[in-house]
A and B are shown apart, each in its own frame.
Chain A
């Protein structure tokens, strides 16, 4: 498989949900400079489940944060849809995150003082909008947390918390969902449930999901894996399986 660092002309890629163009992120200066991302260009297709993998220090989390508008690149551009994030003010970025982006983090996804239901509708409440009730019900039932809706995060297991977080990420029907090691804190069964749910969202509801993970079996749920190493895209795999991913990771480290 060859690396795909080139950018195809926009007209040919109508199915692109988000895109990085020549993205670089440098920390520090001069000799002490660390290039977390080095001129990365990558597209994320709509209605696809994309995973980003790489060893620690490869820049995968940095890439995610830049794509999501949580961090600003040193150079290059980030697009969500047609919007160039690097041109947006801080407030506009906040609004973008509220309206167009969904998040699932590894931990601390939920506001402890709110119930599960309130956590799910949080971005919509902040915007002052009501959720689409039918969609809300569907999401809640699919994640299987209807009987926990009135509970506080303290009263939920890790797996349940992540399901609530996933539900929140999807309820507002964002253009793209970014997940940062969503199964990192979960046991394998709970992790598998979450991944299956995310995959179903992509397959059944055309949701776009980009997930950072270091776990090969988690990555196997994706349609496409982008491999990062030393701040660059080093490889790509379509239709991955756990074995193939493990093989690839081994060869990349070698």
Chain B
């Protein structure tokens, strides 16, 4: 039986190829993700090891926890005097102080800032222990006018030694002469971060840290261990400061990267699993078709004495072989994909230090296991059907055998659908802790349930969709008939497409709803005439707002800042607003207290839902844990209902500044004087902001558009990744058609004998493809909309109040699916047309 299985495999190589293709692609995506993230992890680990190897101990301020979302370490500064204390400690060979802060370099040619969102943009002091090495031809910075910048930035912006650059800070910007270019480790910089290096006093002054330091790097004397030295230094430090060994700092840095990459890996793996899920449908369908085609052969085995179990095993053996082979190829493809992704990231500015591609054994093992398991599980049901083939069928004509009874199918399909819908709804509306897992499983099972029920209406649906095609002539009519003749097969093929497009449509509905909701929220809450923001919603210098107060026609300038904090162990985002001016630029929907009450020391405002959940009222104490300053008690002074702009947790700028190390503005809201010429004010604002190329002046409409663009970029990225799954599904369409043609050889021969031309034959196959594709697309649209509605309803309390259904986009997707269906039908169509008529009609 084993040999028979292998022989049958080899006999149909094309079939083997097409079947395995979907697994190859899915496994490839997965393996690629692993290889990419492993490579990046190793690269960074090596990098940090080497740079921190130069020091033994690091002195810095303690922090309560590390904020994931802040680009630079949120810590307070320590007084400069600590440096002398540390130098005096026995065993210290050298101690060098440094500062670190936000800085953005302006590209002298384009006038834009360098650095997109993600990697940090920073400035610090120049010393020989910070990991940077000067390139030949430059010199270290000296004095208030000189700067050394990192090599990647220099290359991107075409800056060389001798140029003059403008740099933005938390405070006012400045212009400097570039006296050197520096490399970090082997690469130009760390993961695309931009870096400006000044001499220490200049850095301190620019970053607003005169008389302060952010860190002290310590080198130990010969023979003194890092741990020993750390203990000694800790004794002389003031409270709030700590000394850690280089090893600790290294592993902290490595952990942070690891966590960040972990998110990236999980995100990509989700897409890989979607691809594999779709692939499983293809495998199932393919094996179902193959078993049906081999009925006579299998019946012969049974007639000769093979048991049902042996027959089933032979099918599963085929599945295992295909699974393993495809997974192996998939890993190789994955390595290629990783390479591509790496280049793409490099091009986008996220430069990865090169240290060879990391292909861990885990990648191989997991990929092969997953690929094989998916293939075998998908082939299980067809394999069991094979076991039920009766010996007598060796003598009969292979017509489409009726499957299990209709009732069984309805019941089992409904059960699976329920098993999917319930966790989905629970995850969305019940809000358990691991909601995402519930939603994920719910979505998967819902798809399976619908796919199980689809054959029930596949025939009428295909018939209806194909009605207009009947008029086009015999090929169209035959194509439509063909799509209706085997509802289970048509349904399985269309279902794969349904999954891919369903998710794409879901994302589109989600995006449209987000945009619609934002518009509504903005209209309701925004009273300002202008909003200042950076295009990537990252923070910008607070001195910009300062400069604008003097612009003619401006009545109010109100700043908004935001930082990560924790309440009760859970991450929250604290927003800082100006209690005096915020009310005139934005509507908070205050229910209790008033906005100006936030002016009291250590006051906090919370959203009504938060207050209700926690049982808080005016006067209650909330303990907020800030990364830099630790736990601080704040008193509830205001309860409000509009959280669209400011989120659920708000405090005054004063309280914010006291607890946050990196103070940058997120928005600045500006109101013009009544009767002022809006256009004139806008152009005056823009002139005033020329020194800050990273800030845009928007009115409400353009802000809404900008936010929509931002959202679109994200959505496009997600959709592009989902299209991978759609492509796999379309390969499934191609596969099904190809196998069906093989099955209909005699019929095709007859049609050709009776006078159907090659072109008409191709056309017939294409029409069948169109119907199947449109069917999958329509199902996908329906399910995608339902998922989108469910999500929107679930998130409505969070400001997701509006449902948006992008009709035009959805129609486009259906048409797109139909067109791609035709493209993927080209290969099977040509095969059908190329049949030698004589061989076909004599085919046994």
Contact = CB atoms under 8 A, between A and B. Distances in A.
B757 A91 contact: yes
B754 A122 contact: yes
A99 B757 contact: no
A65 interface: yes
Main secondary structure of the interface of B (DSSP, over half): helix
Contacts of A90: 758
Contacts, number: 66
B752 A113 contact: no
A84 interface: no
A118 to B, nearest CB: 8
Size class of A's contact patch? 20 to 34
A112 B750 contact: no
B750 A109 contact: yes
B474 A126 contact: yes
Given A90-B758, A98-B755, A126-B756, A108 B750 contact: yes
Contacts of B746: 108
A112 B756 contact: no
Contacts of A111: 478, 747, 750-751
Contacts of A94: 752, 755-758
Contacts of A196: none
A168 B755 CA distance: 12
A109 B841 CA distance: 9
B757 A113 contact: no
Contacts of A154: 399
A108 B841 contact: yes
Nearest to A127: B755
Contacts of A95: 755, 757
Interface string B719-756: 00000000000000000000000000011011111111
Contacts of A112: 485, 747
B676 interface: no
B837 interface: yes
A114 B481 contact: yes
A90 B838 CA distance: 13
Interface string A79-119: 00000000000110011011100010100111111100000
A212 to B, nearest CB: 13
A184 to B, nearest CB: 13
Interface in B436-486: 473-474, 477-478, 481-482, 484-485
A91 B837 CA distance: 13
Given A70-B837, A109-B750, A111-B747, A99 B485 contact: no
Interface residues of B, number: 25
Contacts of B142: none
B760 interface: yes
A126 to B, nearest CB: 5
Contacts of A127: 755
A125 B754 contact: no
A65 B838 contact: yes
A70 B757 CA distance: 13
B88 to A, nearest CB: 95
Nearest to B752: A94
Nearest to A118: B477
Contacts of B756: 94, 98, 126
Interface string A151-182: 00010000000000000100000000000000
Interface string B753-781: 11111101000000000000000000000
Contacts of A125: 473-474, 477
Contact of A97 (B481, B753, B760, B838): B753
B838 A91 contact: no
B747 A126 contact: no
A71 interface: yes
Contacts of B485: 112-113
B753 A113 contact: no
A125 to B, nearest CB: 5
A99 B477 CA distance: 20
Contacts of B484: 113
B755 A97 contact: yes
A123 B754 contact: yes
Contact of A98 (B399, B473, B754): B754
Contacts of A65: 838
Given A91-B758, A108-B747, A122-B754, A113 B399 contact: no
A113 B482 contact: yes
Interface in B361-390: none
Given A114-B481, A128-B473, A70 B841 contact: yes
A99 B473 CA distance: 17
B820 to A, nearest CB: 25
B481 A113 contact: yes
Nearest to A94: B757
A128 B756 CA distance: 11
A97 B754 contact: yes
Contacts of B755: 94-95, 97-99, 123, 126-127
Nearest to A99: B755
By CB atoms of chain B within 10 A, which of A122, A126, A154, A168 has the most?
Answer: A126
Contacts of B482: 113
A26 B757 CA distance: 27
Contacts of B841: 70, 105, 108
A126 B750 CA distance: 13
B399 A126 contact: no
Contact of A103 (B473, B754, B838): B754
Nearest to B746: A108
B48 to A, nearest CB: 67
Interface in A4-63: none
Interface string A119-161: 0001101111000000000000000000000000010000000
Interface string B828-844: 00000000011001000
A113 B466 CA distance: 15
A113 B758 contact: no
A99 B757 CA distance: 12
B556 to A, nearest CB: 74
A253 B215 CA distance: 109
Interface in B806-841: 837-838, 841
Contacts of B751: 111, 122
A200 to B, nearest CB: 23
Contacts of A108: 746-747, 749-750, 841
A71 B753 CA distance: 11
B747 to A, nearest CB: 6
B838 A70 contact: yes
A91 B399 CA distance: 32
Contacts of A71: 838
Contacts of A70: 753, 837-838, 841
Nearest to A178: B753
A132 B309 CA distance: 57
Contacts of A128: 473
A212 B321 CA distance: 47
Interface in B476-508: 477-478, 481-482, 484-485
A105 B752 CA distance: 13
Contacts of A123: 754-755
Contacts of B757: 91, 94-95
B527 to A, nearest CB: 67
A128 B473 CA distance: 7
Contacts of A168: 754
Contacts of A103: 753-754
A252 B122 CA distance: 103
15 contacts: A70-B837, A70-B838, A71-B838, A91-B757, A99-B755, A105-B750, A108-B747, A108-B749, A112-B747, A113-B481, A114-B481, A122-B754, A123-B754, A126-B755, A127-B755
Closest 9 CB pairs of A and B: A98-B755, A113-B481, A108-B746, A94-B757, A126-B474, A125-B474, A97-B755, A70-B838, A123-B754
Interface of A: 65, 68, 70-71, 90-91, 94-95, 97-99, 103, 105, 108-114, 122-123, 125-128, 154, 168
Given A65-B838, A109-B750, A125-B474, 8 more contacts: A94-B756, A95-B757, A97-B754, A98-B756, A108-B746, A108-B750, A110-B750, A114-B481
